[in-house]
Structure 1
């Protein structure tokens, strides 16, 4: 058997395993999927990785544009999860848990890279730039190019936390409770207030751009 044939066979096995995992878990509550993974079910682990890894990368690349850092952090998280199976706490929202873990891991790694500086999440304003595109569909509005650019400009004038919250709400479809978990707020109302203020700021920035300071 040639190496090419072996690789094709391996890929086929992976696709079959993924299809089986999706079929088995796609309609189950997340708390059950997590519990199965925590018990050592490899299909549950495969489902979690395959279902969330891409979204994790898209979220991570908004924190830092260093692709290698993001990829390493995602890998580290899943290595840690596999090693800690059987010891993990109950999780109701897997995506929120993974996003929060990724954010912490990226910040930890960036701090280590720049160990001579004291950094926190608000220090990465310039690297957390949201680009509106057909793929991301951040805000589902069919408007002309000029207004799209205005919204993009307004988004990038928000604080880092505001941009994160908007991304999680519109791109990832998270609830206010999940957003509060990712951003590590003690109360859900803090996430809601952050988003309301962000939307007010977007509106104000756009109106100022379009009509000037004196409407």
Structure 2
């Protein structure tokens, strides 16, 4: 996988990554987003530098085409910069960007399918999330047999359940953030889908899933 830091930066200020982190480490997402919306360049650069690697990693679950992922990330930040001054309020920058990234990747894949393969579009609600060996839940288990069981169990879930579990475990998102990414209007919907997913997983890896209840 290509290092997402190699993606061309849109007018990134010449500060070290750690400088941006220190500057905003005590700020809330809402404060950082508000500063960015008002035209603060350091806030924009902080968001870009912190979230580009995460967006690339998240997009990798949907597509292994690095060009598509890079283009989507670039388009997202160009769009955000162009909309400064009229952006919606954001409580979780990560959830907001993930939701946009997911939409952009699926849109790009569908456009490519129509152009090259002349095939049907992918429904965002049933888009397949790939479970790879780099997934945290699998990577933390050193027993090869158990790794296989975990991967098998994850693949028994619906695509939406897999996505919810990955957001919970891989991305350390809370239920409110997961609800936003999945497009749920109520947080309880995120709780419900994760509860059902964990119940299914318990059938296969009961002793390994307790810590995520």
TM-score normalised by the chain length of structure 2: 0.82
Unmatched 5+ residue regions in structure 2?
1-11, 207-213
Residue 16, structure 1, aligned to residue 15, structure 2: yes
Alignment check: 8 A CA contact 2:32 2:43 kept: yes
Q: Distance in 2 between matches of 1:201 and 1:68?
A: 35
Residue 35, structure 1, aligned to residue 38, structure 2: no
Alignment check: 8 A CA contact 1:139 1:170 kept: no
1:59 corresponds in structure 2 to 58
Alpha-carbon distance, 1:144 to partner = 2.1
For 1:121, which of 107, 112, 124 is the aligned residue?
A: 124
RMSD: 2.1
Pair 124,66 (structure 1): closer, same or farther in 2 beyond 3 Å: farther
Q: Distance in 1 between matches of 2:63 and 2:142?
A: 29
Unmatched 5+ residue regions in structure 1?
1-12, 208-215
Q: Distance in 2 between matches of 1:119 and 1:106?
A: 11
1:1-215 matched pairs, under 5 angstroms: 16-115=15-114, 116=118, 117-122=120-125, 124-125=127-128, 128-133=129-134, 136-138=135-137, 142=141, 144-206=143-205
Larger radius of gyration: 1
Alignment check: 8 A CA contact 1:17 1:43 kept: no
Q: Distance in 2 between matches of 1:192 and 1:68?
A: 34
Pair 138,42 (structure 1): closer, same or farther in 2 beyond 3 Å: farther
Alignment check: 8 A CA contact 1:18 1:46 kept: no
Question: For 2:136, what is the secondary structure of its paired residue?
Answer: coil
Q: Distance in 1 between matches of 2:146 and 2:16?
A: 45
The more displaced of 173-182 and 146-155 is 146-155
- When the two structures are aligned, how many residues end up with a matched partner? 191
Pair 157,68 (structure 1): closer, same or farther in 2 beyond 3 Å: farther
Alignment check: 8 A CA contact 1:155 1:163 kept: yes
Q: Distance in 2 between matches of 1:199 and 1:143?
A: 21
Deviation string, structure 1 residues 69-91 (Cα, Å, up to 9, x no partner): 11111111001001111110111
TM-score normalised by the chain length of structure 1: 0.81
Q: Distance in 2 between matches of 1:144 and 1:179?
A: 30
Q: Distance in 1 between matches of 2:121 and 2:26?
A: 44
Alpha-carbon distance, 1:205 to partner = 3.9
Pair 66,120 (structure 1): closer, same or farther in 2 beyond 3 Å: same
